[in-house]
Structure 1
Amino acid sequence: EVQEEMVQTLERSRALSKEFLDLAMKDCDAFDRFMEALALPRDSEQDRETRKRSMQEALKGSTLVPMRMVELAGELAEYCLAVASRGNPNAITDAGVSALLIGAASRGASMNARINLASIEDGPFVEESLRRLDAALERTGTAVDKVLAEVSTKLPR
């Protein structure tokens, strides 16, 4: 039963790894869209309005990608907990180090999302995004703390 759980954990972790790589590419694309919007002409009032609208949409796209990364980080950290709790004893510290890295990555992605949110004028979008970020960071932080606690119980003191 544990072996089956670990196989499923490995398979889902690999799928998440691919999704994170895809999100990294999407993040680059979102940044490119913002830079394109930034380069739009500003000659007339209509140009400025089009540019502003394009920049706002690009900022939203640039926020959604790292926000998704933060949300997925919680799931990945929970897989680390499964490994630390029930996996191969030789993988305990791998789970702990992975959890530490996941925690740092999720906080970094959250910062990237929040810096974009600071420039977005759509109040409801900003509020909902902040709510999602806070919930995802809480989930990740809780899982990371549990992994580290589990790992520490299995290491000599």
Structure 2
Amino acid sequence: MKLVDMNVAEFISVLGSDAPAPGGGSASALAGSMGTALTMMVMNLTVGKKKYEEYDSQSREILKKMTKLNKQLVAIIDRDTEAFEGVSAVFSMPKQTEEEKEKRREAMQAALKTATLVPFEMMGIMVEAVNETKKAVGKSNINAASDLGVAVLNLKSGIQGAWLNVLINLSGVKDEEFVEQYRKEGQKRLDEGCKTADEVYEEILKII
């Protein structure tokens, strides 16, 4: 059964079990998906409302973009666990001969790169979601302002969690150029996402 097909209680149960996956990566994607969903909710409570008519076009555009990002994050919940399972599968490969050992090493490096790229992609989606959420601050249903704050808190948590997963997988990658590239680009996404999320949170505090 896919993780996204589980009910909340089932997902939380398997997350807390001794199964190594799902773990922090899938949990980060879930946090991000909740963040995008909250922004979607606020936009749905804003569009079509006479009081916010001047922001209606922008609100609809934000809703459209957030719906797309939400679908991407929901899909990546399972993709992250699948990437981890790809790494785990390498340990069952034979390693008796030098040829087998070499194939095993190559498979491990490929699996670790995939397991790096998934949370890296996740970070990019969530940074975009934070930037979209920022556009709604002060231009959306005031009664749901706190929900925008919770949205960016979930997204920030997801970004930071995804970054940790990027780092732990990079630690096993031998390709120095690959490691340098994704450390640099990942740090950039982390800094941008967290900075914007903090700005939004502070603005929400002023509003409420």
Q: TM-score, normalised by structure 2?
A: 0.72
Note if contact 1:30-1:62 (Cα within 8 Å) is conserved in structure 2: yes
Note if contact 1:34-1:59 (Cα within 8 Å) is conserved in structure 2: yes
Question: Would you say 1:78 and 2:131 are equivalent positions?
Answer: yes
The structure with the greater share of residues assigned to helix is: 1
Q: In structure 2, give the amino acid aligned to 1:46.
A: E
Question: Would you say 1:133 and 2:186 are equivalent positions?
Answer: yes
What 5-or-longer segments of structure 1 have no aligned partner? Answer: none
Superposed displacement of residue 91, structure 1: 2.1
The aligned counterpart of 1:114 is 167
Q: In structure 2, give the amino acid aligned to 1:108.
A: G
CA distance in 2 between partners of 1:85 and 1:46 (Å) = 62
Q: Give runs of aligned pairs for residues 46-125 of structure 1, distance below 5 A.
A: 46-125=99-178
Superposed displacement of residue 146, structure 1: 1.5
CA distance in 2 between partners of 1:122 and 1:70 (Å) = 21
Q: In structure 1, give the amino acid aligned to 2:203.
A: E
CA RMSD across the alignment: 1.1
Superposed displacement of residue 72, structure 1: 1.3
Q: In structure 1, give the amino acid aligned to 2:205.
A: S
Superposed displacement of residue 150, structure 1: 1.2
The aligned counterpart of 1:2 is 55
CA deviations 1:106-154 (Å, max 9, x no partner) are 1011101100001100000000000111110111012101211211111
- Match of 1:86, SS state, is coil
CA distance in 2 between partners of 1:40 and 1:48 (Å) = 9
Question: Would you say 1:24 and 2:86 are equivalent positions?
Answer: no
Of 84-93 and 59-68, more deviation after overlay is shown by 84-93
CA distance in 2 between partners of 1:119 and 1:43 (Å) = 22
Q: TM-score, normalised by structure 1?
A: 0.94
> Displaced runs of 4+ in structure 1, greater than 4 A?
none
CA distance in 1 between partners of 2:175 and 2:206 (Å) = 47
Of 34-43 and 115-124, more deviation after overlay is shown by 34-43
- Match of 1:101, SS state, is helix
The aligned counterpart of 1:39 is 92
CA distance in 2 between partners of 1:73 and 1:84 (Å) = 17
CA distance in 2 between partners of 1:38 and 1:86 (Å) = 52
Q: In structure 2, give the amino acid aligned to 1:9.
A: I
CA distance in 1 between partners of 2:157 and 2:81 (Å) = 20
Note if contact 1:62-1:113 (Cα within 8 Å) is conserved in structure 2: yes
